[in-house]
Structure 1
Amino acid sequence: MSAPLLFLLAHLVTGAAIASTPDLGKAQGQCRVQENGPAYWVEVQGLKDRRGRLKLELYPANDVDFLADDNILVAAGKAFRRVEVPVPPAGPVELCIRAPAPGVYALSLLHDRDANRRFAVSVDGIGFAGNPRLGWAKPSAATASAPVGNDPAHIRIILNYRRGLLSVGPVEK
């Protein structure tokens, strides 16, 4: 895999952060059963396997802030939320993440298969709201975003994994 693609995929998940705070945004992002208000119910599709953890993150829907360092976003008072859960052993997989208010937000989903909290292009999977095709550059915030109103919005995110030497895509079944 080429160095630019490796850098891109690492940046997609970690942003520019070297020392991210794993619990940042979790208290604000966690949905509660039967909760009303702006939130995303995310149906996860295309899991490669049932191991590791899933990390869903919400960002402002602009290219400057999308996938930016979580510490910087929170310090600037910008939207950032995170939900992290173990992959369930069976059944449908759904995650819920609260939005700060109705609007449009960008969402990223990581399947951290070895649960080490570090992105490994040869192991882990990634997906975004809107399910943009992944290429040599990070997707734009507009293609990785979804609207949410005063009630939970239901969306589907398809995970992508490394396929071959230079491509990333959904698991072929």
Structure 2
Amino acid sequence: MTAGAAPAVGAGEGAPILGPDAAVCAHGKSPAILVDITGLSNRNGTVRVRTFGGATSTWFDKTKWQTKVEIPTPRTEPIRVCMPVAAPGNYAIDVRHDANANGETDRKDGGGASGNPRVTVWDFIFGRKPSPKQTAVHVGQGVTEISVTMMYLSGTSLKPLSETKR
């Protein structure tokens, strides 16, 4: 998908809203999630954002996403991506920074989710997903803004870069 941009509203006023549905968030009257992404390791590759809704048992299943936006990694902060949703309700978001844009998950790639849950390598190995209680985003009639902090592999955990350099 190609990225469009529209003027931002709210806390990040003046920053572009990215994604093919940027105007939905700029307008502010339709159900949508505006995802502020922070903590990228670099400005290479692509950023992918997905929305999950419906039964929480399907959240984070790589085949059950509802909306997906993939954009070239913007060269400057902030990164704000608009994810429209079909109706008010509870949703989850995941974000992936494909640092080398090869379409595969590598050790240098980062990830994050709504609610910024702590995740370990063991969670991936055993197929454990973050708790819906922690990752649920309630969307009403307008735009709901959330922040996702990217995490990168450090030992057997995924951590924000600020914690991996200690």
TM-score by length of 2: 0.75
CA contact (8 A) 1:31 1:39 kept: no
User: Deviation of residue 140 (structure 1)?
Assistant: 1.9
Taking the aligned partners of 2:81 and 2:139, their CA distance within structure 1 comes to 15
Count of residues in Structure 1 that have an aligned counterpart in Structure 2: 137
3-state SS of 1:116 partner: coil
Q: Distance in 1 between matches of 2:62 and 2:138?
A: 22
SS at match of 1:51: coil
User: 1:79-108: CA deviations, max 9, x gaps?
Assistant: 611111111111311111111111110110
Partners of 1:32 and 1:133 lie apart in 2 by 29
The residue number in structure 2 matching 1:16 is none
Match in the other structure for 1:153: 144
Is 1:143–2:129 an aligned residue pair? no
CA distance change for structure 1 residues 94 and 145 in 2, over 3 Å: closer, same or farther?
same
Deviations 1:35-59 (A, max 9, x none): 3301111111111111111100011
2: CA distance, partners of 1:91 / 1:60? 28
Cα RMSD after superposing both structures:
1.9
Mapped partners of 1:106, 1:151: distance in 2: 16
Aligned to 2:32: 39
Post-superposition Cα deviations, 1:98-157, rounded to whole Å, max 9, x if no partner, equal 11111110110001111111111x110000001111133221233222111111111100
Structure with the greater relative contact order (CA < 8 A, sep ≥ 6): 1 or 2?
A: 1
Unaligned runs of 5+ in 1: 1-22, 24-28, 74-78
Q: Distance in 2 between matches of 1:31 and 1:154?
A: 15
3-state DSSP of counterpart to 1:89: coil
Percent of aligned pairs with the same amino acid: 30
1:1-173 → structure 2 map (5 Å cutoff): 30-33=20-23, 34-35=26-27, 36-60=29-53, 62-70=55-63, 73=64, 80-120=66-106, 122-135=107-120, 136-137=122-123, 138-163=129-154, 165-172=155-162
**Unmatched runs of 5 consecutive residues or more in structure 2:** 2-18, 124-128
Distance 1:168 1:127 in 2: 9
Question: Higher strand proportion, which one?
Answer: 2
The 3 A distance-change label for structure 1 pair 119 and 61 is farther
State TM-score, norm by structure 1: 0.72
Divergent runs of 4+, >4 A: none
